[in-house]
């Protein structure tokens, strides 16, 4: 799947640590996923794709059991916080990848998985935003239906969000504490995952 298509030349190799999963990305954008305690696996081979499939053009680490797609927090002073995160995330290889003025998405290209935004909602607390990865649009709908049947407040019904990218399909609900929880599928078409 194409997440955020780019013609940029491959960057230097990168290692990501996501929970107990370690992800190595080489200069050709080939992803290798391994568990902290376990045998290394080649994620492309595990997914039946060519080992030389560019990660951003085929299945990616998000399909390899990685649950979180992105998270977001609210800030009392967005310009102060963005200056802070500009500085502290640069050594990690992350930078501003999207900027909507009221919300800024940081990440190691191509995926903005850490967001900061203006403090604009939440009674007595600052709601957090959690987005979970869905393998298909049907999974997004199942997530949404499960939330509704559990009495969750609906924020946004499942739909495409072209302002993020053309294949972004997400649904948003509130959890029992009032947090904004999303399921998102990035697969083009996405109907069969």
Applying CB under 5 A, the residues found at the interface with Zn ion are 131, 182
Contact 184, 169 (CB under 8 A): yes
Nearer to Zn ion, 49 or 182 (CB): 182
- Minimal distance, residue 50 CB to Zn ion, in Å: 31
Q: How far is the CB of 68 from Zn ion (least distance, A)?
A: 11
Tell me which residue of 121, 126, 97, 98 sits closest to 109, measured CA to CA. 97
The nearest distance, CB 105 to Zn ion, in angstroms, is 9
Residues 10 and 139: their CA atoms lie apart, in Å, by 32
To the nearest 10°, report the CA torsion of 108, 53, 132, 90.
0
Q: Between residues 58 and 170, which has the closer beta carbon with respect to Zn ion?
A: 170
Distance in Å, CB of 29 to Zn ion, minimum = 24
Q: What are phi and psi of 139, to 5 degrees?
A: -65, -40
Which is nearer to Zn ion, 3 or 131 (by Cβ)?
A: 131
- Cβ closer to Zn ion: 73 or 89? 73
């Amino acid at each position: 799947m194409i997440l955020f298509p780019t013609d940029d030349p491959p960057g230097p190799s990168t290692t990501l640590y996501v929970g107990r999963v370690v992800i190595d990305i080489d200069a050709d954008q080939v992803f290798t996923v391994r568990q902290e305690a376990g045998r290394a696996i080649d994620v492309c081979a595990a997914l039946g794709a060519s080992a030389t499939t560019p990660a951003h053009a085929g299945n990616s680490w998000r399909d390899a059991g990685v649950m979180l797609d992105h998270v977001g927090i609210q800030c009392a002073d967005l310009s102060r916080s963005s200056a802070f995160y500009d500085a502290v995330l640069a050594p990690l290889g992350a930078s501003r990848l999207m900027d909507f003025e009221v919300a800024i998405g940081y990440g190691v290209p191509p995926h903005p998985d850490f967001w900061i935004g203006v403090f604009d909602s939440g009674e007595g607390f600052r709601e957090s935003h959690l987005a979970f990865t869905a393998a298909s649009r049907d999974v997004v709908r199942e997530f949404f239906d499960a939330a509704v049947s559990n009495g969750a407040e609906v924020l946004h019904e499942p739909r495409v969000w072209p302002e993020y990218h053309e294949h972004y399909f997400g649904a948003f609900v509130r959890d029992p504490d009032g947090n904004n929880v999303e399921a998102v599928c990035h697969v083009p078409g996405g109907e069969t995952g």
